[in-house]
Copies of this chain bind each other. A is one copy, B any other.
Amino acid sequence: MRCDVVAVGTELLLGQIVDTNSSFIGEQLAANGIDSLLQVKVGDNLARIETVLRRALADADAVIMCGGLGPTHDDLTREAISAVMGAPLQFDAAVADTIRQLFAARNRTMAENNLRQALVPEGAAVIPQTRGTAPGLICPVVIDGVTKVVYAVPGVPHEMKDMLARAVLPDLRRRSGDPSVIVSRTLRTWGESESGLNERLDPVIADLELAGTPTLAFLASGWDGIKVRLTAKAPTAADADALLAPVEARIREILGSQVFGVDDDTMERVVLQLLRERGWTLGLAESVTGGLVAGRITEVPGASEVFVGSVVSYASEVKFDVLGVDRGPVVSEQAAVQMAVGARRVLHADVALALTGVAGPTEQDGMPVGTLCVAVALPDGRATAHTLRMPGLRDQMRQMSVITALDLLRRELLAMP
């Protein structure tokens, strides 16, 4: 079954609001084994909403319309559906009572135009409103002799999510002949470009294209790494898992330690877990990233069990005075090692990670923009250092430096006896 999505609102086209609703709906549809192949944003214009809806119904079995159910003159979703159904809008007294009660419950006087929300196309079913004043709608439509369905839900995210779970998804599942589910498995990787991954996985991709399932896609996700996503469609979640497992195993064998996690794993969670397993604390010395590594690590609830702190030594004087780095060039492996050793000492940490580099706009110490020196100081007193060249301009260079440094720490920890 195919269900496309139409998000209604001029503010979406103007970029005043990002359309997160259709993303959420798309995720929910996939989890319920329903394809969503087209998602459209259209403004508050009756003719265009109507056109978009007719087109969507020509391709899809069902359409979820999100937004345009409010009380004001530019809320036109009801009118558009009524036109496409060829059914007049009728005043629903029960819906109107509920609206009046909602206002009374909030001790607010109700503007008359709120009763526009009680208009329901003839033949449509109402999804009772429990959070906002606008009810949702379930509207059967006959297109070329085939009965399809249009759902209308409010644009307010929590109202939409409530009606989607309570009424729309159950109704879609009921109508759907296809009981299959779509299951995705995402391998999180770092250490190679998207194209490099693609080339190494070429044989796998070739086999998958022959088999037709699971499908494989690459998602370059900035400082969250590059994701390799496998998606399988099957009668049950267990069947889908059975399709995914051997492919995942094969990819892991090819990519080895480049796979740092799965699905919602993040590099910082993985690193914190490796340290937690050894009972080690972590300290940082950040220069080029200016606190971004610490900021990311402390996003993880419970990070305080492992992470003690960071010396953000942005000025060279702080590197010299606080961390004990030798006066001289501060973008070098030697400086990075001294920063790491200094952070271990100052913060009383078991392990320390240090970053120094050149984010630009100009070169520094004769090192070009993009240079990153990373050092790791370990409990046995050893310290290792690497010099890398990061891509991009200031922000991208800094973000890539964060995940690259955390990945180097991860590899150090994995390599330890």
Does A205 reach chain B (CB closer than 8 Å)? yes
**Which residues of B sit under 8 angstroms from A39, Cβ to Cβ?**
12-13, 40-41
Q: Are B20 and A194 in contact (CB under 8 A)?
A: no
Q: Are B322 and A346 in contact (CB under 8 A)?
A: yes
Q: Closest approach, in angstroms, between the C-beta of A306 and any C-beta of chain B?
A: 10
Does A318 reach chain B (CB closer than 8 Å)? yes
Q: Are B217 and A16 in contact (CB under 8 A)?
A: yes
**Which residues of B sit under 8 angstroms from A45, Cβ to Cβ?**
37
Taking CB atoms and an 8 Å cut-off, the chain A residues in 211-234 that contact chain B are: 217-222, 229, 231
Interface size class of A (residues with CB under 8 A): 35 or more
Q: Are B37 and A42 in contact (CB under 8 A)?
A: yes
Of A67-75, A377-385, A405-413, the one with at least 4 CB within 8 A of chain B: A67-75
Tell which of A298, A311, A322 has the most Cβ of chain B within 10 Å: A298
Contact of A72 among B195, B295, B393 (CB under 8 A): B195
Q: Are B44 and A217 in contact (CB under 8 A)?
A: yes
Q: Mark A112-146, 1 if CB is under 8 A from B, else 0.
A: 11100000000000000001010000000000000
Contact of A195 among B12, B13, B114 (CB under 8 A): B114
Does A357 reach chain B (CB closer than 8 Å)? no
Q: List 10 A-B pairs, minimum CB-CB distance, nearest first.
A: A290-B298, A291-B294, A15-B27, A291-B291, A310-B312, A15-B23, A308-B315, A291-B295, A71-B195, A111-B195
10 pairs from A and B in contact (CB 8 Å cutoff): A15-B27, A18-B20, A38-B52, A111-B199, A289-B295, A291-B312, A299-B398, A302-B361, A310-B310, A310-B314
Contacts A13-B39, A73-B198, A114-B195 given; 10 further ones with Cβ under 8 A? A12-B26, A12-B39, A13-B26, A14-B231, A105-B389, A158-B393, A289-B298, A292-B295, A298-B398, A311-B312
